């Protein structure tokens, strides 16, 4: 069995902890590090490492703190350029980070950004994708799909019609209809849970997004909020 703990999932900060067979993998370092330590029960020896999708502060601002605690941090070359002593990841290889297996997928964003395919020590497979404008890959056999569902373009059009000034999201974040296409492409008989990530405070609709994805996939769908814990088991298929 594996668990996924949500520490934060918004523009204010993103961080998650995946626990499997007593081993912890931190994904994103954008939240107060005290909360990260709490999520791993202050057991630093259990932490295999920390992954960062990209260099933006809401995903990587606590990289120095993780390094201070001697936690190995892994990221792309942009993250390495910004923070000393980070291990550089590329798409060319599959990596062993402690007992976890990790593969990187480059995705479009306004900074070099990777999504991750994570294989847990207990066998569960997790797709993690956030801060991207498109996800055109088919990743099969995932027990959990963690996918950004940042905004709804219809809500933005309504805001513009009211005269509001809206920062463009289209090149940086995943719109709900594109999220739906990505999830439908990857979901299969193995999929137990879909977790929607990084919803915009002003331009999303949590309940409607959940209903849309559940209707299209028939799977359990949740929206990530700080403090949530999800338990998953390796699929029998």
Q: What span, in angstroms and rounded, lies between the C-alpha atoms of 78 and 83?
A: 9
Confidence of residue 17 (pLDDT cuts 50, 70, 90): very high
Tokens matching residue 225: 């909020």
pLDDT reading at 164 higher than 90: no
Q: Nearest to residue 137, comparing CAs of 200, 182, 85, 82?
A: 182
Which range has the worst mean pLDDT, 3-7, 43-47, 164-168? Answer: 164-168
Contacts of 13 (CB under 8 A, 6+ apart): 7, 30, 31, 32, 58, 61
Q: Indicate the pTM of the whole model.
A: 0.95
Instruction: State the DSSP string of 91-105.
Output: TT-EEEETTEEEEEE
Domain 2-232 has CATH 3.40.50.300: no
Tell which wins on pLDDT, 89 or 84: 89
The pLDDT of residue 161: 77
Tokens matching residue 88: 């550089």
**Helix segments in 76-175, DSSP class H:** 77-82, 153-161
In the three-class reduction of DSSP (H, G, I as helix; E, B as strand; rest coil), residue 196 is classed as: strand
């Amino acid at each position: 069995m594996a668990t996924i703990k949500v520490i934060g999932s918004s523009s204010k900060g993103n961080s998650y902890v995946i626990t499997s067979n007593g081993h912890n993998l931190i994904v994103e370092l954008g939240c107060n590090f005290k909360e990260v330590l709490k999520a791993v029960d202050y057991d630093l020896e259990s932490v295999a490492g920390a992954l960062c999708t990209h260099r933006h502060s809401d995903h990587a601002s606590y990289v120095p703190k993780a390094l201070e605690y001697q936690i190995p941090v892994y990221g792309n070359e942009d993250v390495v350029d910004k923070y000393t002593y980070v291990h550089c990841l590329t798409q060319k290889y599959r990596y062993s980070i402690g007992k976890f297996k990790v593969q990187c997928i480059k995705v479009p964003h306004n900074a070099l950004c990777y999504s991750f395919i994570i294989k847990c020590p207990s066998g569960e497979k997790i797709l993690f994708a956030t801060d991207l404008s498109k996800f055109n890959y088919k990743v099969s056999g995932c027990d959990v799909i963690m996918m950004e569902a940042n905004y709804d373009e219809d809500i933005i059009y309504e805001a513009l019609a009211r005269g509001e000034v809206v920062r463009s999201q289209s090149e940086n974040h995943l719109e709900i209809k594109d999220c739906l296409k990505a999830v439908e492409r990857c979901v299969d008989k193995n999929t137990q849970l879909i977790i929607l990530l990084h919803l915009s405070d002003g331009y999303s609709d949590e309940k409607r997004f959940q209903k849309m994805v559940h209707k299209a996939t028939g799977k359990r769908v949740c929206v990530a909020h700080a403090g949530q814990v999800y338990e998953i088991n390796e699929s029998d298929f």
